[in-house]
Amino acid sequence: MPAQHLNALSLILPNTRFITDKSDMAVFCIDQRARFQADAWAVLQPSTVSDVQALMRYCFHENIPVTPQGGNTGLCGGATPHARLGGKGFIVSLSRLNALRELNLADNAITVEAGMVLAQVQAIAQKAERFFPLSLASEGSCQIGGNIACNAGGLNVVRYGTMRDLVLGLETVLPSGELVSHLQPLHKNTTGYAWQQQITGSEGTLGIITAATLKLFAPPRSVLTAWAGIDNIQAALSLLAAVKNYFAERLSSFEIISNDALQLSAGYSRLNPPVSAVWHVLMEISDSLPCVSNHQEQLFEVLSDADCFNAVIAQSEQERQNLWKLRENISAAQRNLGASIKHDISLPIAAVADFIAECQPIIQQAYPHANIVVFGHLGDGSLHYNVFLPEVLGNDVYRFEEHINILVYECVLKHSGSIAAEHGIGQIKNHWLPRVRTAEEIAWMRSQKHFFDPNNIMNPGKLLPSETDV
């Protein structure tokens, strides 16, 4: 059966690489956390939009499941075929559909194909004396299409918003193979229902994004990076309010780091912790104007007014990079503790302190030896809340995942937060949707899915709860 389809497709996809050797396919068939592994008939890598269309037309007609894949850096198994497909169907990797379509400096817009790596978009922008602000740990591998499909967040959301806010236009191939393209860089355009907004964040379940027009910004010409040690979360929130009120959009990042997380990262990075404290804040103020000395005085004032005397301001680029390294290496450093149950949550900023204070004892009571590592983008209310069980070996920790998720998520929901801030739903949280979305919304989502993909071939098993999760 697969051979027949592969033969047929090889005739109609002149610009597509077919990867059929199992060892070559392996890296596409497993997710970044090595939690999901699934076979497929082949990995197909089209390099033209017309091939993507022809491929989808064929699969639509033949009822063949397709799993779209970008950089395969997702953390919810969204880009790995669902196990229930039993190895049927294709992984469609967008990696070779990666051209620059247009750089429009007058409109501060760049149009790229979905397979372009995020770091490359950043580099093209920088070379043109612009700035593309999406910044994630995985930026060296993740691709624009995946970033849009998952509405990626990252470090600079407090200032520039999520990927949703950075997209001006999309080009999408529907499951039927039809192409819908609106790539013009328009800042105002309300012409009927919000198609682009539906595709964004739909995690590859409604179609395959093939290109996007993205916003560019003025480059930062002065940057001020500070690290403050604080006694508690409430102090961090007060500092955040003060900094936002004073610097407004110049605040581009505001990160919170627990002392446990910092010590882990400092050890891993072989750097000294900048200060001694229970909690840590890393913040960055950047400006399109070259006026760093003014901002330094102002920042000292803001820190003093907020009673933050246990703080350092980076005096050199090297110092700045070290501070960021301490933040960026937390994820890698964590792996030395073994596997953990990770949570990608967001909360109203006003609720963060209460959430952290309430959730810890709840976890500790059920799991007395748990280590909780907390860090994240306090500036936009999102956190990574990771629970390690030191006595549990390796992937055995996942036996406790459902229970720990329930403890953490119920506390998040009690505080009006979200259980999926920036990683998406994928195949690990779809059974939670009925808990966090109303029945009307779930029915609406199913009707959307049915409209776009009546035969459920487009990334089946992802995002939507299965029909048995009512």
Nearest-approach distance from CB 208 to a second copy, in angstroms: 14
Binding mask 355-394 for a second copy (x = CB under 8 A): ----------------------x--xxx------------
For the window 188-217, what string marks contact with a second copy as x by the rule CB under 8 A?
A: xxxxxxxx-xx-xxx--------------x
Per-residue x/- mask for a second copy, residues 140 to 159, rule CB under 8 A?
Answer: ----------xx-x---xx-
- CB closer to a second copy out of 280 and 377: 377
Pick out residues in 420-439 that bind a second copy (CB under 8 A): 420-422, 424-425, 429, 433, 436-438
Residues 244-263 that bind a second copy (CB under 8 A): 244-250
Residue 86 or 454 with smaller CB distance to a second copy: 454
Of 27, 100, 218, 357, the one binding a second copy (CB under 8 A) is 218
Of 348, 357, 391, 396, the one binding a second copy (CB under 8 A) is: 348
Q: Given candidates 126, 294, 315, 321, which one binds a second copy under the rule CB under 8 A?
A: 294
Provide, rounded to whole angstroms, the least separation between the CB of residue 5 and a second copy. Answer: 25
**Residue 441 binds a second copy (CB under 8 A):** yes
Is residue 458 at the binding interface for a second copy, with CB under 8 A as the rule?
Answer: no
Nearer to a second copy, 131 or 367 (CB): 131
According to the binding rule CB under 8 A, does residue 343 interact with a second copy?
A: no
Q: Is 417 in the site for a second copy (CB under 8 A)?
A: yes
Q: Considering the rule CB under 8 A, would residue 289 count as an interface residue with a second copy?
A: yes
Taking CB under 8 A as the criterion, which residues in 121-140 touch a second copy?
129
**Smallest distance from a second copy to CB 190, Å:** 4
Identify the CA nearest to 243 among candidates 154, 317, 312, 305: 305
Tokens in use for 159?
């200032």
